[in-house]
Amino acid sequence: MTPPPARTAVVTGAGRGIGSMIATGLAERGYRLALLGRTATHLHATADRIAARVPGAEVHVVPVDLTDRDQVQVAALAVVDGLGEVDLLVQNAGVIERAEVAFADDDVEDVWRVVETNLRGPLLLVHALLPGMLAAGGARVVHLNSGAGYRGAGAYTGYNISKGALARLTTMLDTQYRDRGLLVFDLAPGVVATDMTHGMPVHADRTEWTRPDDVIELVAAIGAGELDELAGRFIRAGADTPTTLHARTGQILRTDARRLTLSLWGPDDPMR
């Protein structure tokens, strides 16, 4: 089952940074939107920016703490009341540790704050919206992920754990619901210049940044159904484009690439 091209979208963390950029880009492409995030003033600032760029755009502002189950349930009802069917869910909201240090030197409560925000939020929201998505014949979900979820690093333990777990959520949803029309993608935005990335010491000397338009182009391509064959897999803005992904789709599927999995040593590996 393949859902039709998306015309409504929910964007979390839409008050600032990449989330605000994605929401604006989708509005410019004619989407009706719901903006979710913790801070109402930031969400309204994004809505005002969209109104200035796209007169008449339909934008619903829904303040919510995405780690609070009761608030998420109320927010999901507000989204459905405003938009009707949710065609595209962009799960962008996320945080990173306050200190760029190895685990032994980190505050474990801060590590857990990052894991909880970056994983519990997406889990709660997709769970709340999933029955309606399935009843409507499916939808597309984009998890804003990171290459950090697929490799080790010397710092930001909670962030890496959370992104790895988010990739596994993508796999689970793909496995359980693809045949009912739910198409889920991991999209790494690269390194976009935002308040968060500018505040990270690891990027202090960076001179090359991922263009926001590259991220928006991929989100829009997913919403339009152009990348449906790659559902359940990882793509990265700044390295991938819709054109390059189309060219590589056969190879990706043949080798089962771009998916969180266990690497085996060969055909005689007992874990095969």
Domains and CATH numbers, the chain: 8-254 (3.40.50.720)
Q: Is 52 a residue whose pLDDT tops 60? A: yes
Written in H, E and C, the secondary structure of the chain is: CCCCCCCEEEEECCCCHHHHHHHHHHHHCCCEEEEEECCHHHHHHHHHHHHHHCCCCCEEEEECCCCCHHHHHHHHHHHHHHHCCCCEEEECCCCCCCCCCCHHHCCHHHHHHHHHHHHHHHHHHHHHHHHHHHHCCCEEEEEECCHHHHCCCCCCHHHHHHHHHHHHHHHHHHHHHHHHCEEEEEEECCCCCCHHHHCCHHHCCCCCCCCHHHHHHHHHHHHCCCCHHHCCCEEEECCECHHHHHHHHHHHHHCCCCCCCCCCCCCCCCCC
User: Is 31 annotated in the active site?
Assistant: no
Q: Mean of the per-residue pLDDT values for the chain?
A: 93
Catalytic pick among 31, 150, 156, 159: 159
| pLDDT tens-digit readout, 190-199 | 765 566 654 5
Q: Is 175 a residue whose pLDDT tops 80? A: yes
Q: Is 69 a residue whose pLDDT tops 90? A: yes
Average pLDDT over residues 111-119: 96
Provide the whole-model pTM.
Answer: 0.92
Average pLDDT over residues 57-79: 98
The confidence score (pLDDT) of residue 192 equals 58
Express as a percent the part of the chain with pLDDT over 70: 93
Q: Is 39 a residue whose pLDDT tops 60? A: yes
